[in-house]
Structure 1
Amino acid sequence: MPVNKTGETHWVIPDGFIPPNSTGVQESHESICVLNCNAEQAYLKINIFFEDRPPIENIEVDIEGKRTKHIRTSLLEKDGEKIPENVPYAIEVQSNEPVIVQYSRLDSTQPELALMSTIAYPV
């Protein structure tokens, strides 16, 4: 009997934005939260798309089996290129194994900070 794996292999997050300023103690940030419920290690390729410039493609991230990983978007880098602050972007996550992808944003640009989290769109 085949074993069903948890998750999908292709996810999209259409709204990303790293604010240039933060207030208070906590820094504004965004994270791609990935859960690998399966036994096999997952190899991710992350693509970042912009409105007015070429994408940053094939950023590689590995996640061991039966683990979770929180990937700060401000730390993603490919060949020295990073996501700039104050620029809208979108995210595509592709994986060789099914995973679950959630997107979280902590906005501390005002004293009354906001936390938003949502499941990414599985393709």
Structure 2
Amino acid sequence: MAVQNKGETHWIIPDGFIPPESSGKQTSHESICVLNMQETTANVSVTAYFEDREPLKDIKVQVQAERASHIRTASLEKDGRTIPENVPYAIAVESDVPVVVQYSRLDSTQPELALMSTMAYPLNT
């Protein structure tokens, strides 16, 4: 049974950065995990904001009902534009149904890799 009204429809991730290189067997990357506990598909829109360029707006992603989706930020693309490596950015996630959003970064630029994970900031709308 799905859990109705658990989660939020707007989430903010203020600190994004795709490391430009990797060492060892793991590839540096970042992911947005979207958990959809609803009985309907979540239609998600992702916007990336940058310090020195126009936002990359309205990237569409679907998360099936009662599923989780791990979305690598480097795979997000709109009109041939992607989030570049080695550039700070922030992300806004909007969904047509309540979801839960978590953000993770694997930095393997050094042999002693670092994994960071945090909940995105929910906006009550």
CA contact (8 A) 2:4 2:38 kept: no
Identity of aligned residues (%): 64
Structure 1 unaligned segments of length 5 or more: list them.
none
CA deviation string 1:65-122 (max 9, x = no partner): 1000000000000000000110000000000000000000000000000111000000
CA distance in 1, matches of 2:54, 2:39: 35
Residue 74 of structure 2 aligns to a residue whose secondary structure is helix
CA distance in 1, matches of 2:31, 2:19: 13
CA distance in 1, matches of 2:88, 2:27: 18
Partner of 1:67: 67
Provide TM-score, normalisation by structure 2.
0.95
4+ residue segments displaced more than 6 Å: none
Shift of 1:6: 1.1
Partner of 1:93: 93
CA deviation string 1:21-44 (max 9, x = no partner): 100000000000000011111000
Partner of 1:36: 36
Provide TM-score, normalisation by structure 1.
0.96
Partner of 1:116: 116
Number of aligned positions between the proteins? 121
Residue 74 of structure 1 aligns to a residue whose secondary structure is helix
Partner of 1:55: 55
CA contact (8 A) 2:12 2:91 kept: yes
Partner of 2:5: 5
Residue 86 of structure 2 aligns to a residue whose secondary structure is coil
CA contact (8 A) 2:28 2:107 kept: yes
Structure 2 unaligned segments of length 5 or more: list them.
none
CA contact (8 A) 2:18 2:86 kept: yes
